[in-house]
Amino acid sequence: MGDNVTLRLPASPAAISAARAAVVRAALDRDVPDDVLDTLRLLVSEVVTNSVRHGVPTEVVELALTFNSELRVEVTDYGEGFEPEPRAGGPDDAGGWGLYLVDRLAERWGVQRNGVTRVWFSLATV
């Protein structure tokens, strides 16, 4: 298996579990530590969920996973994009935790907008 994994998934709820399963398989093939694997699983679920919710339902969600000295995940959708803002909801609110978790658990992360919306994050593997 190479150092990159790419997926094109329908912008539907099924994309969330398919993306999570694919990155877990790829990470297991590379002996990613269990704690990093748990974080990867959670953050992929969160960013793909956001893409499905806020992207264009007739388009695809694209996921790219790169293994180097760190793990880098990019999730791209064809939505209008957004400006990341601090979480506005209360601690008991069910939604709105995705980017909060990314901010707290990823080494680095960001949002790029250039005709598509791309949310990326990286995790240290050691």
Whole-angstrom Cα distance, residue 83 to residue 86?
10
Structure tokens that stand for 86 in this block? 């601090």
Q: What is the pTM of this model?
A: 0.89
Report pLDDT for 1. Answer: 41
Overall CATH class of domain 4-124: alpha beta
Please report the pLDDT score of residue 93 as a whole number.
65
d(CA 74, CA 20): 13
Task: Output the pLDDT for position 63.
Answer: 97
Cβ atoms 48, 20 nearer than 8 A = yes
pLDDT along the chain (126 residues), means of 10: 83 95 93 94 95 90 94 92 65 73 95 91 91
Q: What is the pLDDT of residue 125?
A: 86
